Amino acid sequence: MRHRLIVPAAAAASLLLAIPASAAEPTPGAPGVGDSYYPTAGNGGYHVSHYDLRLKYQPQTDKLEGTATLTATTTQALSRFNLDFALDVSEVTVNGKPTFFAKSGDHELEITPSAPLPEGKQITVVVRYSGTPSQVKIGGYSAWQRTPDGAVVANEPESAAWWFPSNDHPRDKATYDISIAVPDGLQTVSNGELKSQSSKLGWTRYNWRATKPQASYLTTLAIGKFDITTDKTADGLPVLNAYSKDLGDNLASAKASVERSAEIIEWESKIFGPYPFNAIGGYVPNVKTGYALETQTRPYYSPSGFANGANTSLVVHELAHQWFGDNVSVKNWRDIWVNEGFATYAQWLWSDKEGEGTTQELADYTYDGIPADNAFWKVKPGDPGAENQFHGAVYQRGAVALQALRNRVGDKTFFAILKGWQTDNKFGNGSVQDFVAYAEKVSGKQLKSLFDTWLFTDSKPSAAVAAKDGI
């Protein structure tokens, strides 16, 4: 095969010319995407298009074993790149070649391919790993919750690092195949559709598939004893809801809420535009923690959300996030208002429809009811700070901002803005500033001072200023 190295002089010259003089030297990919709230979230230098996770979990010992196969494309010439991951890694290959890797910090996995990767190259990265995720702490905390009969992982802004290696930032969305084997007799819940399940040697393997771009923090997994209900919507979308068998007195109220998911999505589709995904549902694991999360296609609900009877408003909130948060995601975590302000406003629209208070009444109630010296008014919904990302102000004052916008531009334009924002940014990202610019474009109005008042002022807007915005 020696003759292959003999290249005619002319051809050799053209080969040399084919290498652009400016070809960048390979450099390490950044250990973060550049999000000021979470500097190590995500990584630079590549985009992931698909995650294939093949997992096995034993609840008795909390042992998770996995092989993750990531399909990615480099966005720069890379000498090295990072994945965000906290479990123990035994082997990494890149394009089939065993590769040097090292842990850095508490959730960075540095991968050094045997040869540098050029820009624009498709790569296949395989990571073999195992661990006891509930014992693995990042900043003293684990997002992996054990339950009496299994486990569940669902959290924001970070949850992936406890169960699969990823580019852990909503700017890099991908599709997912999640295959999980658990001891016979247990069920699993994840995103998208359950394509198949089969049992062998005492283990049942469930194969889940999510075919639309999905952020890593919206990717969820639960293992346990669940009652599962399935259905099809009028449009033929598969519905799958799951309830822990141990919800006790909360089971009936959880069902009375979550079983209405398809109906609520139909109502929201009329306001926000077509439902972006191709599966629907919700699930209620047996956890003690008290939050809900808009995990894609299948929100996660703590049982405590249903402790006072049905809570359709909560379901309306998490399902509104399927548009605001999941279809259009934050560009940076400081943009959290583009998720929470809108999901809260959806609850206000539901209240309006149910005759439990109009959106205007709820905006006035928020403004009038919270005194100026309350710390609530110190938080700027448009840039709340990482420590206040989920502060009530982002939600409630964030929704007041939308009522102010609606009052300024009128109903027709307001609802055109909501729908258009979804179509224009389908499966993408948008910042607060992008939304303001978009609302100005659609309405033809100057809106900077309105949004400054409601999103970017760290005090209660005066009565005179509020009155100008109809609040």
Binding region for ligand ARG (CB under 6 A): 155-156, 291-294, 317-318, 340, 390
Between residues 93 and 322, which has the closer beta carbon with respect to Zn ion? 322
Query: Which residue's CB atom is positioned nearest to ligand ARG?
Result: 291
Task: Return the one option of Zn ion, ligand ARG, none that residue 335 interacts with (CB less than 5 to 8 A, by type).
Answer: none
Tokens linked to 423? 């179509």
Amino acid letter, residue 248? G
Helix (H) or strand (E) holding 173: none
Between residues 76 and 327, which has the closer beta carbon with respect to Zn ion? 327
Between residues 294 and 434, which has the closer beta carbon with respect to ligand ARG? 294
Tokens linked to 387? 């420590």
Between residues 237 and 315, which has the closer beta carbon with respect to ligand ARG? 315
Residue for token pair 């590769």? 99
Residue 343 C-beta: closest distance to Zn ion, Å: 4
Query: Which residue's CB atom is positioned nearest to Zn ion?
Result: 343
Nearest residue to 340 (alpha-carbon basis) of 397, 257, 283, 407:
397
Task: Return the one option of ligand ARG, Zn ion, none that residue 427 interacts with (CB less than 5 to 8 A, by type).
Answer: none
Between residues 153 and 343, which has the closer beta carbon with respect to Zn ion? 343
Neighbour count for residue 335 (Cβ, 10 Å): 22
Residue 411 C-beta: closest distance to ligand ARG, Å: 26
- Asked if residue 202 lies in contact with residue 183, where contact means CB atoms within 8 angstroms, the answer is yes
Tokens linked to 167? 């580019």
Residue 345 C-beta: closest distance to Zn ion, Å: 11
Task: Return the one option of ligand ARG, Zn ion, none that residue 292 interacts with (CB less than 5 to 8 A, by type).
Answer: ligand ARG
Bridge partners of 28? 80
- Asked if residue 191 lies in contact with residue 298, where contact means CB atoms within 8 angstroms, the answer is yes
DSSP 335: G
Residue 324 C-beta: closest distance to ligand ARG, Å: 10
Residue 395 C-beta: closest distance to ligand ARG, Å: 7
Residue 260 C-beta: closest distance to Zn ion, Å: 18
Tokens linked to 254? 């959880």
User: CA–CA separation, 240 vs 282, rounded Å?
Assistant: 7
Task: Return the one option of Zn ion, ligand ARG, none that residue 156 interacts with (CB less than 5 to 8 A, by type).
Answer: ligand ARG
Provide the CA 109 distance to its chain's centre, in angstroms: 21
Provide the CA 394 distance to its chain's centre, in angstroms: 17
Tokens linked to 350? 């539901």
Q: Which stretch binds Zn ion (CB under 5 A): 123-131, 198-206, 228-236, 343-351?
A: 343-351
Bridge partners of 150? 147
Between residues 158 and 340, which has the closer beta carbon with respect to Zn ion? 340
Nearest residue to 197 (alpha-carbon basis) of 185, 206, 209:
206
Size of the site for Zn ion (CB under 5 A): 2
Between residues 206 and 348, which has the closer beta carbon with respect to ligand ARG? 348
At CA 318, angle to CA 347 and CA 251, rounded to 5? 100
Q: Which of 161, 343, 400, 404 binds Zn ion (CB under 5 A)?
A: 343
- Asked if residue 144 lies in contact with residue 163, where contact means CB atoms within 8 angstroms, the answer is yes
Task: Return the one option of Zn ion, ligand ARG, none that residue 434 interacts with (CB less than 5 to 8 A, by type).
Answer: none
Strands (DSSP E) contained in 215-312 are 221-224, 226-232, 238-244, 280-284, 292-293, 300-301
Residue 154 C-beta: closest distance to ligand ARG, Å: 9
314 interacts with Zn ion by CB under 5 A: no
Q: Which stretch binds Zn ion (CB under 5 A): 35-43, 116-124, 210-218, 340-348?
A: 340-348
Task: Return the one option of ligand ARG, Zn ion, none that residue 268 interacts with (CB less than 5 to 8 A, by type).
Answer: none
Nearest residue to 47 (alpha-carbon basis) of 65, 69, 26, 74:
74
Contacts of 225 (CB under 8 A, 6+ apart): 149, 150, 185, 186, 187, 244, 245, 246
Residue 468 C-beta: closest distance to Zn ion, Å: 29
Task: Return the one option of Zn ion, ligand ARG, none that residue 155 interacts with (CB less than 5 to 8 A, by type).
Answer: ligand ARG
Q: How many residues does the chain have?
A: 471
Between residues 93 and 322, which has the closer beta carbon with respect to ligand ARG? 322
Residue for token pair 């040869």? 115
Q: Is 11 helix (H, G, I), strand (E, B) or coil?
A: helix
Residue 284 C-beta: closest distance to ligand ARG, Å: 14
Between residues 291 and 376, which has the closer beta carbon with respect to ligand ARG? 291
Between residues 161 and 343, which has the closer beta carbon with respect to Zn ion? 343
Residue 123 C-beta: closest distance to Zn ion, Å: 35
Task: Return the one option of ligand ARG, Zn ion, none that residue 338 interacts with (CB less than 5 to 8 A, by type).
Answer: none
Edge-first strand listing for the sheet containing 226-232: 226-232, 238-244, 280-284, 300-301, 292-293
Between residues 145 and 322, which has the closer beta carbon with respect to Zn ion? 322
Site of interaction with Zn ion (CB under 5 A)? 340, 343
